[in-house]
Amino acid sequence: MVTRLWRLVLAFLVGIFVLASCADSAGNNAGSGGSAGMAGMGGTPDAGVSCVESGCRDDNECMTDGMCEPLSGECVGAAAAPENTPCGPNGSFVCDGQGFCRGCNADEQCNDFFPGECLEAPRCIDNACQPPDPLLDGTPCSTGVCRSGVCSSPWAPIRKAIPMACGSSLSSKLFDSSTDLTVDPTDIMPAEQFSATLDSSLMIPQALLQSAVIASFPTPLPSIEVTAARAEIAATRVASGRLKNTTLFPLPQTVQIPQAPNVGDSGGQICETSDDCPLSAFGQACSPAGQCECACRAGCVPVICPDVVTGELVLGFETIQGAIYAAFQSGQVCFDMAGDASDPDIGLPIRTGIRFAVDPDVLAIECEGGTVNDNGTPDLPEDDFVDPNLPADQICFPIGFPEPPSE
């Protein structure tokens, strides 16, 4: 009888000790705050945890904390917080309803992450806000027009890569290139003169340089010689103002090609597919023996394949300060890499571009902007002209922006 009574008293004391431990543990954790919980836990993370040892807080903002069960001493009843409950630093993220802190659950929750009137509406994809694309350059906005996703003055400087094409004497394949043209105009008022600073540079693409290195193999090709270069800049919708030429000085000049040893071949490194070879885009294949063969050349052995070109070349042209033009009454002035080709110079490209050579008998390459139109008289270059680029590839500024109020 005494033994039974003693057991009842002991069980009662243990229950009181467990309750006291739960209360003390919860109180000690109440002011500790929670982590952002971006990783989340999901499910019921505190189920089965001894609340005597750790309490019932799991520091996950997207999970409601469980209760301490006095008889078992375990945390029970945890659940996911409602969807869109604020979480993370300063409550800038939201719970997904599954116990995880996410960037977003809906598109409109992304607007605060990407503010700006010159951006498309951001989208929430897989609970993450995706960076929006910029609106088209020239889209009206509060302080002028959109440029590169930013609302700016309609006469702020514009830098644009204008397409060019490069062809070599050894291949009919054309390589894409571009001329970076920067125009910084003064305000363009109707029927008044304005000035513009014109700056340009030409990018020689990595693919073209790699082709030159392959074409000269097995002779090393550390550099190329620029034999001629100029950029002709034309303006349309102006009443006066001439073509402006920028030239690369001094010429000729030698430019180093950035390249590195073909690590896919030296030392007999193993490949599984042709895509593993550093020059696979140029025809280099993975042999049955697991070695990268020579690219675009017959009868080579893997240890003496062409170098890999590691980057492009950018050649700067002369800057023209204060070119003078007179605007029309309305519309917009557009600048383009063009030229009328009416006075060809045998030492310069007939159009905007650059001419360089490895060896005149081996490789000669010219990058050209625009398309020469021979005016139906191919034997008379004096009347040739260069067709303009597409309007989307030109740099345009409004005349008299903002428009005067209508009467």
In this structure, are residues 178 and 164 in contact, taking their beta carbons and an 8 Å threshold? Answer: yes
Q: Rounded distance, CA 292 to CA 166, Å?
A: 28
Question: Residue 118 pLDDT > 50, yes or no?
Answer: yes
Q: Rounded distance, CA 97 to CA 83, Å?
A: 4
CB crowding 99-135: b at 16 or more within 10 Å, else e: bbbbbbbeeebbeeeeebebbeebebeebebbebebb
Phi, psi of 24 (to 5 degrees): -65, -40
Query: What is the DSSP-derived secondary structure letter of residue 292?
Result: B
pLDDT in tens, 272-311: 888 888 788 777 778 787 877 766 555 565 556 788 899 9
pLDDT bin (cut points 50, 70, 90) of residue 132 is very high
Which range of 88-102, 199-213, 243-257, 329-343 scores highest in mean pLDDT? It is: 88-102
Question: Residue 55 pLDDT > 60, yes or no?
Answer: yes
Residues counted in the chain: 407
pLDDT at 47: 53
pLDDT in tens, 322-376: 999 999 999 999 998 875 544 555 455 555 667 776 665 556 666 666 666 777 8
pLDDT at 179: 84
pLDDT at 26: 33
Tokens 């030109």 identify what position?
394
All structural domains of the chain, each given as residue ranges with its CATH number in brackets, are 160-261+307-398 (2.60.40), 262-305 (no CATH)
pLDDT in tens, 77-103: 888 999 999 998 888 899 999 999 999
Q: Rounded distance, CA 56 to CA 76, Å?
A: 8
Question: Residue 195 pLDDT > 90, yes or no?
Answer: yes
Which has more confidence, 222 or 40? Answer: 222
**If DSSP codes are grouped into helix, strand and coil, which group holds residue 22?**
helix
List the structure tokens of 190.
Answer: 């109707």
In this structure, are residues 367 and 354 in contact, taking their beta carbons and an 8 Å threshold? Answer: yes
Among the ranges given (72-81, 141-150, 169-178, 303-312), the one the predictor scored with the smallest mean pLDDT:
169-178
Which has more confidence, 191 or 263? Answer: 191
Which has more confidence, 103 or 229? Answer: 103
Dihedral angle over CA of 236, 242, 243, 244, nearest 10: -120
pLDDT bin (cut points 50, 70, 90) of residue 259 is very high
CA-to-CA separations, 279 to 208, 213, 256, 261, in angstroms, rounded = 13, 11, 20, 12
> Percentage of the chain surpassing pLDDT 70?
68
Mean pLDDT of the region 185-199: 94
Q: Rounded distance, CA 103 to CA 40, Å?
A: 12
Give burial (CB, 10 Å; 0-12/13-18/19+) of 376.
exposed
Tokens 């890999």 identify what position?
308
pLDDT bin (cut points 50, 70, 90) of residue 189 is very high
pLDDT at 148: 82
Which range of 187-191, 259-263, 399-403 scores highest in mean pLDDT? It is: 187-191
Tell me whether the omega of the peptide bond preceding residue 250 falls within 30 degrees of 0, making it cis: yes
Mean pLDDT of the region 172-197: 85
List the structure tokens of 381.
Answer: 């270059």
Mean pLDDT of the region 373-400: 79
State the average pLDDT for the chain.
75
Q: Rounded distance, CA 230 to CA 249, Å?
A: 10
Query: What is the DSSP-derived secondary structure letter of residue 249?
Result: S
Q: Kindly write down the DSSP assignment for every residue of 162-197, as one continuous string.
A: EEEEEEETTEEEEEEEEEEEEEEE----TTSEEEEE
pLDDT in tens, 38-53: 444 433 445 556 676 5
- Closest-CA residue to 119 (of 111, 108, 127): 111
pLDDT at 152: 87
Mean pLDDT of the region 206-231: 81
Q: Kindly write down the DSSP assignment for every residue of 106-165, as one continuous string.
A: SGGGGTTTS--TTBPPPEEETTEEEPPPBPPTT-EETTEEEETTEEE-TTS-EEEEEEEE
Which has more confidence, 251 or 184? Answer: 184
pLDDT bin (cut points 50, 70, 90) of residue 268 is low
